[in-house]
Amino acid sequence: MRIALIAHDEKKPEMKRLVTAYREILAGHRLYGTGHTGRIVAEATGLEVTCFHSGPLGGDQEIGALIAQNALDLVIFLRDPLTAQPHEPDVNALIRLADVYAVPLATNLGAAEVLLRGLDAGFVNFRTLVTGDTTKHEAY
């Protein structure tokens, strides 16, 4: 599976704890991240992460483009709902695209854990039903 990892500044420590705890599950997948979050994930886990720009500089839009191209299977976006984000329209567009293309999206730690455990148990394989794509997407 192809997984995007994004976290607002106040949620980056949570992302670091999440990826450290679920490193073994994430290790079997292709990881993408926005700027600083991607670097945090790579440093915390030792896993390869394809990093894009930071969110405010277009990273959210780059992740959204992957969703629109059916090049992502799951998104974990730990959002900070208590802080105004200067790039909120980009955030909303990314969430909208996840809904349009039926890409599972977690926006908080609890949902992220459920998705990662479901991924490990094989429950995210429904993506082949949604997309019709039977190609196995392995980490490269």
Catalytic residues: 60
User: Distance between CA atoms of 131 and 140, rounded to whole angstroms?
Assistant: 21
**C-alpha dist (Å) from residue 115 to 80, 108, 110, 135:** 19, 11, 9, 21
User: Distance between CA atoms of 117 and 94, rounded to whole angstroms?
Assistant: 23
